[in-house]
Structure 1
Amino acid sequence: MSDLLVKRKLCVESLPNEIWMYILEMGISNYTLGHIDVCSYSICCKHLNKLANQDTLWSTLLDLKFPGSNQDDGGRTSSKKSLYIDVHHKYIHLRARMRHFSVKLDQMDQEMDAIAKQIEDFDPQHSPETLNARSVACRDEFSRMKQEHKSILNGLTDIGL
């Protein structure tokens, strides 16, 4: 091990654990440090790894980022860090689903605008067959969009919105 690494290791270990924990807790509480930062500290050395995996740090991260999720999960996870990872993955999944639904709603808005344009362009001078065909097409499209809207609402209900 090089002299520089030995000196850095001694510097890290020369501070008491309480000071390191205070630094980490203050960084988290002030929103200066997030979960990626805590994980980065944990790979610096064994000493910081032990400190960065403390339940108190991950409990604070849970409370700040996901209020209400820092409850006993019935023993499914072995640590607050594991619980944070589980909750974070669920959050990412929910955001992806919400983006999907948002895109679908935008598409439906565009389709409704197109139908409204067709209605505006309605010319009573067209033949009855043409008018009937356009009416049926609009009704079918409206019915399809209604079903899709219902599907989106059900999806939003499933994710708790």
Structure 2
Amino acid sequence: MRESTQSIGEWASATFGDAGSDARVAARANEEMSELLRAATSGRPAEHLVVEAADVVIILARLAYRNGFDLWEEVEKKMAINRARVWKQDGTGHGYHVRDKSSSLTVLTEIVGSLNVCSDNPNVPDDFLVPVDMTMGELRKARAAIAQAKGEAA
């Protein structure tokens, strides 16, 4: 039998019961990812690394299943998108896709513009953490980048 999103999802539900929430499943995947990172840095044989990678995929299959998706179909769709993207290599055998500046600006403006904080206040230190996992310094840089992209004074 070859495993599928459905077979993994049904096994997980029968074995562990209701997962509770997508956030809990994602947190569990993060726990397995930590085990994968430990395996990648432990010097143990590659077989151990691949077993830990399989654990991550199993949890992600459960996440897809509980939301009515087939993980492998979603991977196919995402790879089609990835193959059509322009990539910037980072010199380590990895890279990041080049984002369209206008869409990135829109997203950044939506995130930063909705914050009800005064980034112009010099009394708030740059390392002050604002409630979006950004420091005040990062927020100030983001607002300056938005202003520059729109041709406004920062």
Name the TM-score class by shorter chain.
under 0.3
Q: Which has the higher helix share?
A: 1
Report the TM-score when normalising by structure 2. 0.25
Structure with the greater alpha carbon radius of gyration: 1
Q: Which has the higher strand share?
A: 2
